[in-house]
Amino acid sequence: MSSLKTLVFFATPAHECSYLDDREATTMFVDPRANVDKKLYSQLTALGFRRSGSHYYRPHCEQCNACVPVRLDAREFRPDRSQKRVIKRNADLSFNLVPARFSEGYYALYARYIEERHFDGDMYPPTREQFASFLVDGATESYFLEMRKGELLVGLAVIDALDDGLSAIYTIFEPEENSRSLGTLAVLWQIEEAVRRNLPYVYLGYWIKECRKMSYKTRFRPIEALLDGRWQSLPDDGAEPA
Q: Is the pLDDT of residue 239 over 70?
A: no
For the purposes of burial, counting CB atoms within 10 Å of the CB of 229, is it exposed (0-12), middle (13-18) or buried (19 or more)? exposed
What are 183-209's pLDDT values in tens digits? 999 999 999 999 999 999 999 999 999
Angle at Cα 221 formed by Cα 217 and Cα 224, nearest 5°?
Answer: 75
Q: Is the dihedral of CA 73, 78, 81, 86 positive or negative?
A: positive
DSSP string, 160-177: EE-SSEEEEEEEEE-GGG
Amino acid at site 139: A
CA 75 to each of CA 70, 108, 160: distance values in angstroms, whole numbers, following the listed order: 16, 35, 18
Secondary structure of residue 182 in the 3-state scheme: helix
Arch. (CATH architecture) of 70-205: 3-Layer(aba) Sandwich (3.40)
Q: What is the average pLDDT across 213-242? A: 84
Intervals of CATH 3.40.630.30 along the chain? 70-205
- How do beta strands 94-99 and 68-73 pair? unpaired
The rounded mean pLDDT for the chain is 94
